[in-house]
Amino acid sequence: MTKKSKYHTLLSTNCSLLCTSKAFTLIEMMVVITIIGIVMVIAIPNFAAMQQRARVRAGAQEVAQDFRYLRERALSGIGNFQVTLLDNRHYQVAHPNGNVSTYQLGQTTGGSLRFGTTVAIAVTPPEANGAIPPSGFDFAATGTLSFESRGSATKGVAYITNNKENFAIGVNRLGKIRVYIYTSGVWQGL
């Protein structure tokens, strides 16, 4: 056999091995699909839970931002703003000029948010006036949060839940607003 024919024989043998294997076998495809299925079964519930946590956190941050905005408007010299609870999903703002605005809890963040807590919680954030009320709106005896033009505010807390996690928006007498999450038996600031 010549050198050329040996080379040609090796080349044709390798080509025939490579050229005949052009697709995946059924078993290879089944293994890949099974692995993808296992990953999906693990990932989808975790992703859904993460979305719920993000919605309630965003809802609490949204209410805190609304309160901060009202405080800034009061500080600008416009006058006092009054925030009252309408029901477990809505709150109302009375403006100094007499206009009234209604806000829905979680309006832009989605989710089934409401004022209140999921269970009876014995501890409260530092801004609380006492035990957590069933309404979830703990602002003085009148239940009204006031932002005054000199910067002060009614001390109290608005509690928000999605029936799984609990958040609180605390307002102190100086008007400082802080968001808390209830974790491991304590309210932790965000």
Instruction: Please state the rounded mean pLDDT for residues 154-158.
Output: 93
Closest to 5 measured CA to CA, from 103, 13, 100: 13
Domains and CATH numbers, the chain: 24-189 (3.55.40.10)
At residue 56, the pLDDT reads 84
* Position 48 pLDDT exceeds 60: yes
Q: What is the average pLDDT value for the chain, to the nearest integer?
A: 85
Cα distances (Å, whole numbers) of residue 97 to 68, 89, 94, 142: 19, 25, 8, 21
At residue 23, the pLDDT reads 81
pLDDT in tens, 105-128: 877 776 788 998 888 888 999 999
Strand, coil or helix: what is 154? coil
C-alpha angle 176-87-72 in degrees, rounded to nearest 5: 25
Half-sphere exposure in the Cβ direction for 81 (13 Å, CA) = 25
State pTM to two decimals. Answer: 0.75
Contact (Cβ atoms closer than 8 angstroms) between residue 145 and residue 153: yes
Instruction: Please state the rounded mean pLDDT for residues 24-28.
Output: 88
